[in-house]
Structure 1
Amino acid sequence: MPHADPALCSALAADLAAAGFRSDALRDAWGAEADAAIGRGLRVPALRTLAARTDPVATLARLLVLGVPQPRDAVDAALPRTGADGLATLGLAETGGGEVQPRAIVRPQSYLDTEGTGEWWFASDLDELAAGGGPLAEDHVLGVGGASLTLAGLHLPTPARRVLDLGTGCGIQALRARRYANAVVATDLSERALGFARLNALLNRDERIETRLGSLFEPVTGETFDRIVSNPPFVITPRATGVPGYEYRDGGLVGDALVERLVADVGAHLAPPGAGSHGGVAQFLGNWESRDGVPGLDRIRAWVAASPVPLDAWVVEREELDPVSYAEMWIRDGGTAPGSERHDALLSAWLDDFGARGVTAIGFGYVLLRRAEGRPTLDRFERVTHPIPSEGGLGAHLAQALEAHDRLARMDDEALAAATLRTAADVTEARHHLPGVGDPQVIELRQGAGFGRAVQADPGLAALVGACDGDLPVGPLVAAIADLLEVDRAALRHELLPRVRELLFTGFLRFAA
């Protein structure tokens, strides 16, 4: 178990900073080719590059990133305040025979948000790279991975008083939340995970993250929060003998019932709307099943509609896998490679489980729910499967979209026609012509930020977007464009105003004031 000793965590943070133990320093130390290999789970190229080096960065890279034992005197030199004994006391290493054996990894993780850039250090259990392969322990505490970075980038950057990080794991969401929140409560059903979360909070000099042990909302019964974030154990796992239930990814329920339960229960823990303010917001990742011809997004829509607390909802499905591909991915994630009897047995268990429920596909995506005042006004369930330019940094875009939605919800068509708009700076236009034809066959508006959407536009819409420079209101612009195109003004206005609403929500257009 990790031991979050405040004095030793402070000493280790000072040592890591003094050694220059940062993401860019590590990449420079082992080079681009080795860095790409590490991303594929291969440490040999990095170890070969570092072999002749004895400086602190090389020693710490081998010990804390790549999981290779190091001489005690080298570790003491690299960490003069902490020393090998300090690492052992923290539960991050063992000492003996003049050697330091890693028992956890500590890796730097850079970040960028609306407040600027920075660097965190995160300790977690030895992963497949550092442990040299093989199945993981069921109580394994995962480090910072792609999903956790995705969710960290989705956080709304707007201020919040209290935030709940449900299923905190190693604590990355809690630390991300502390960038905009006064107080954070981090929960997990794993005491081991909470140990790492406490250690990582202290390692990053934050003593104001409160940790609580328990499943789902049990540790916060009766409490409400301005923001709830969660990278929950949503992986769909067969409830069958011999199938490991990894705490970091498996919630112990059948199918996608854990995500369904989150949707059902989260509303009661979101702060209700107050004077002039909207209700609390929940953001989490999840998997959902398409069953017997019912798409997963339709099933989530039904869960939201059944919530005892009215909820605004924006759900984005990023990926959909068939049952075989889904099972293969998570079996491999647990450290079992294809070609073995164990792999075949696990695959059969997964396919039997999916077959019993009539599952034809499994979706993955982002869920944003907001406690509504009265009848919900946001009901958006969509697939966005193309590459996203802002992946890992969508929080500001989501906040702008919610602000635009709330403003639009108060505006009728007359008010919208009187509004003055600007085209977002990242929007470009592409026109596609057949050879020798003057008029374009396709006009496409493209977004360089946000979700990186592309919208097909007719000449009227393209002209309106091009004319939105913050000068004239929408109504007069539409009238002028109708005259130019020689079409009926009222008909063009009726056609364009709903599309303007969509372009404001998705960020192609902005209110000028």
Structure 2
Amino acid sequence: MRVTPPIAPLPARDAQPALPQKLRADLTAAAFSVSTLTALWGDDAERALHRNQRVPAIRRLDEQAVTPASTLARLFVLGLDVPREQVERALPTLGIDGAAELGLMSAAGDSIRPLKDLRPYSFVDADGAGSWWIVSDLGELSRPGPLDEDHVLGVGGASMTLAGLMLQARVDRVLDLGTGCGIQALHAARHAKHVVATDISDAALTTARLNADLNAVTNIEFRHGSLYEPVAGERFDRIVSNPPFVITPRRPGVPAYEYRDGGLVGDEIVRTVIVGSADHLVPGGTVQMLANWEYRAGETGSDRVARWLHDNAADALDSWVIEREVQSPEEYAETWIRDGGTREGTEKFNALYGAWLDDFAERGVRQVGFGYVFLRRRDASSGPVWNRHERLLSAPGQNEAGLGVHIAACVAAHDAQARLSDDDLAASTLVVAGDVTQEQHHWPGSDDPTAIIVRQGGGFGRSIPVDTALAALVGACDGDLSVGAITAALAQLLEVDERALRAQLLPRVREFVDDGILSFALPQKPDRQR
């Protein structure tokens, strides 16, 4: 997905559509799954693979008898050449010629060389457990040197993060902007009648379409083009995007990887996706995306994103921006130069490092923030305008079905509490979430706590310092007494003014409802003043 090239026709579908079906049959017969691979080489080797080290896995496979699953693992996961007769046994339906036609391998005499990465992928969402096989280009694990600029990335940490963030309510139409290998489109297809997946890269679209065919997913339409060009005039219930947001110097000699570089200066690609989404959402439609943003002299990342959201087009959007990491220019440059496969200490690495630092210095960039963006096109039922920016640098809590379920619950809870006046909120009964715990810290010998912390086991795993009154209110929210009644009792106990205590606690109650720490025990009354 890039900005500058013109739209071109989508590459023709495979001349033999039965080939992905034949491959699927062979992978199924071989029980080529995540659990099978882990059993083959063990947990320690699996962890080494996540560090891009394949030697432990190779050694474990060398100790075992050859099976179709181990042959496929050597070939497509570890990137090793494999004897022809072993591949013939592992792919009896597709055959070597069929695999070569799909671009998966090449034959040289009695040796078969992999041309693609092909591995199992498993997940859990609101519909339960699922699994697919995902094709992508060979990565650093099995190929030396820098990546090609049209490299098609497989499923990585960012892909799994966005998949987990995706809302999972049923909708009609979803747009996957910059589909890459198609992993987000596959996830979206589980919750949508129709998915449109776009990309500027021919290689990415060909790979994504192969992955859809391989996994028998039929409700995805693939379109070639940049950003919103392929869907001009169309609107969607949901947009998901892991856009090519990596800030890349626009200088000679700096590779422009299609999977991560949108072709614009700085964080402009993120601004373009955010602002443009307003014209492609139905009322109430949402965006879930990954992004990064620059901190420039005199402007924080939060200020910058807020300014984008006040653009004329984006002013119709509610927003929830969660910053998960902040890097210095040096850290950012090192991360993405390594990501492209250029080794540290080489002349090429040092030249790229200098180009990145020069680019940041010229534009006054002091830091780069990375995180998640949730947007919603406002409609009559949305309630008050909602713009929230928070920094959560700790690890998320336990969310088996993904953070998207938690986000959807938080958005619904926010809408419910935002429509209530303070009087109606005080009249409501709340319950504390089952994953919430409370810690108290004391100086030795002291009866009074020096710190009280409310911890969230799921969701975003927040750890929130609270005072005695708020801690007591949260602890008393069991669905029996109203917030107002609890506040009145606390005012008597603490010997403070009830009105002042209520004014202090109600804003924090709203925050805790938004965060999923507290929830309504009963249906809420509408705000009588609205």
Same fold flag (TM > 0.5): yes
| SS of equivalent to 1:9 | helix
The answer to whether 1:461 aligns with 2:470 is yes
Alignment partner for residue 303 of structure 2, among 298, 301, 311? 298
Q: Which moved more, 1:455-464 or 1:116-125?
A: 455-464
Give the equivalent residue in structure 2 for 1:425.
Answer: 434
**Contact in 2 for aligned 1:124/1:196 (Cα 8 Å):** yes
Give the equivalent residue in structure 1 for 2:388.
Answer: 380
Return the letter of the residue paired with 2:291.
G
| SS of equivalent to 1:389 | coil
Alignment coverage as a number of residue pairs: 506
Return the letter of the residue paired with 1:397.
H
Shift of 1:152: 0.4
The list of structure 1 runs, each at least 4 consecutive aligned residues, that deviate by more than 4 angstroms after superposition, is 1-5
Q: How does 1:38-49 map to 2 (within 5 A)?
A: 38-49=49-60
Shift of 1:17: 1.7
Q: Which moved more, 1:91-100 or 1:241-250?
A: 91-100
In the alignment, the residues of structure 1 paired with residue 443 and residue 263 of structure 2 have an alpha-carbon distance, to the nearest angstrom, of: 57
**Contact in 1 for aligned 2:173/2:192 (Cα 8 Å):** yes
Q: Name the TM-score, length of structure 1 as normaliser.
A: 0.96
Q: Which moved more, 1:487-496 or 1:356-365?
A: 487-496
**Contact in 1 for aligned 2:180/2:208 (Cα 8 Å):** yes
**Contact in 2 for aligned 1:423/1:510 (Cα 8 Å):** yes
Q: Which moved more, 1:373-382 or 1:53-62?
A: 373-382
Shift of 1:376: 5.9
Alignment partner for residue 23 of structure 1, among 34, 56, 63? 34
Shift of 1:485: 2.1
In the alignment, the residues of structure 2 paired with residue 324 and residue 271 of structure 1 have an alpha-carbon distance, to the nearest angstrom, of: 41
Q: Which moved more, 1:199-208 or 1:44-53?
A: 44-53
Alignment partner for residue 485 of structure 1, among 489, 494, 514? 494
Q: Which moved more, 1:51-60 or 1:249-258?
A: 51-60
Shift of 1:391: 7.0
Q: Which moved more, 1:368-377 or 1:48-57?
A: 368-377
Q: How does 1:124-163 map to 2 (within 5 A)?
A: 124-131=136-143, 133-163=144-174
Q: Name the TM-score, length of structure 2 as normaliser.
A: 0.93
Give the equivalent residue in structure 2 for 1:91.
Answer: 103
Alignment partner for residue 333 of structure 2, among 324, 327, 330? 327
| SS of equivalent to 1:313 | strand
The answer to whether 1:34 aligns with 2:45 is yes
In the alignment, the residues of structure 1 paired with residue 37 and residue 150 of structure 2 have an alpha-carbon distance, to the nearest angstrom, of: 29
Alignment partner for residue 268 of structure 1, among 250, 266, 279? 279
Give the equivalent residue in structure 1 for 2:525.
Answer: none
**Contact in 2 for aligned 1:135/1:334 (Cα 8 Å):** yes
Give the equivalent residue in structure 2 for 1:275.
Answer: none
Give the equivalent residue in structure 1 for 2:347.
Answer: 341
The answer to whether 1:406 aligns with 2:412 is no
Shift of 1:389: 2.0
Give the equivalent residue in structure 2 for 1:497.
Answer: 506
| SS of equivalent to 1:206 | coil
**Contact in 2 for aligned 1:263/1:307 (Cα 8 Å):** no
In the alignment, the residues of structure 1 paired with residue 198 and residue 384 of structure 2 have an alpha-carbon distance, to the nearest angstrom, of: 29
Alignment partner for residue 79 of structure 1, among 91, 107, 124? 91
Cα deviation, 1:165-193, whole Å, max 9, x if unaligned, reads 00000001001101211110000000110
| SS of equivalent to 2:266 | coil
Alignment partner for residue 449 of structure 2, among 415, 440, 458? 440
Cα–Cα, structure 1 residues 437 and 153, in superposed 2: closer, same or farther, change >3 Å?
Answer: same
In the alignment, the residues of structure 1 paired with residue 105 and residue 363 of structure 2 have an alpha-carbon distance, to the nearest angstrom, of: 45
The answer to whether 1:114 aligns with 2:114 is no
**Contact in 2 for aligned 1:377/1:409 (Cα 8 Å):** no
In the alignment, the residues of structure 1 paired with residue 342 and residue 195 of structure 2 have an alpha-carbon distance, to the nearest angstrom, of: 36
Cα deviation, 1:452-506, whole Å, max 9, x if unaligned, reads 1111222211111111111222111211222222222222111111110000000
The answer to whether 1:253 aligns with 2:261 is no
In the alignment, the residues of structure 1 paired with residue 80 and residue 419 of structure 2 have an alpha-carbon distance, to the nearest angstrom, of: 60
Cα–Cα, structure 1 residues 168 and 54, in superposed 2: closer, same or farther, change >3 Å?
Answer: same
Q: Which moved more, 1:221-230 or 1:109-118?
A: 109-118
In the alignment, the residues of structure 2 paired with residue 137 and residue 35 of structure 1 have an alpha-carbon distance, to the nearest angstrom, of: 26
Give the equivalent residue in structure 1 for 2:294.
Answer: 289
Alignment partner for residue 54 of structure 1, among 66, 84, 87? 66
Give the equivalent residue in structure 2 for 1:366.
Answer: 372
Structure 2: state its 5+ residue gaps: 1-10, 523-530
Shift of 1:204: 1.2
In the alignment, the residues of structure 2 paired with residue 155 and residue 390 of structure 1 have an alpha-carbon distance, to the nearest angstrom, of: 16
Q: How does 1:6-17 map to 2 (within 5 A)?
A: 6-17=17-28
Return the letter of the residue paired with 2:130.
G
Cα deviation, 1:325-381, whole Å, max 9, x if unaligned, reads 111111111111111111111111111111110111111110111111379611101
**Contact in 1 for aligned 2:397/2:456 (Cα 8 Å):** no
Cα deviation, 1:364-417, whole Å, max 9, x if unaligned, reads 110111111379611101111012124782111100110011111211111111
Give the equivalent residue in structure 1 for 2:246.
Answer: 235
Return the letter of the residue paired with 1:505.
D
In the alignment, the residues of structure 2 paired with residue 391 and residue 125 of structure 1 have an alpha-carbon distance, to the nearest angstrom, of: 30
Cα–Cα, structure 1 residues 413 and 376, in superposed 2: closer, same or farther, change >3 Å?
Answer: closer
Return the letter of the residue paired with 2:121.
Q
Q: Which moved more, 1:298-307 or 1:89-98?
A: 89-98
Give the equivalent residue in structure 2 for 1:314.
Answer: 320
Alignment partner for residue 68 of structure 1, among 80, 91, 96? 80
In the alignment, the residues of structure 2 paired with residue 282 and residue 415 of structure 1 have an alpha-carbon distance, to the nearest angstrom, of: 31
Q: Which moved more, 1:70-79 or 1:297-306?
A: 70-79
Q: Which moved more, 1:51-60 or 1:442-451?
A: 51-60
Structure 1: state its 5+ residue gaps: 273-278
In the alignment, the residues of structure 2 paired with residue 459 and residue 356 of structure 1 have an alpha-carbon distance, to the nearest angstrom, of: 49
The answer to whether 1:510 aligns with 2:513 is no
Return the letter of the residue paired with 1:320.
V
Shift of 1:146: 0.6
**Contact in 1 for aligned 2:399/2:458 (Cα 8 Å):** no
**Contact in 2 for aligned 1:3/1:89 (Cα 8 Å):** no
Q: Which moved more, 1:248-257 or 1:52-61?
A: 52-61
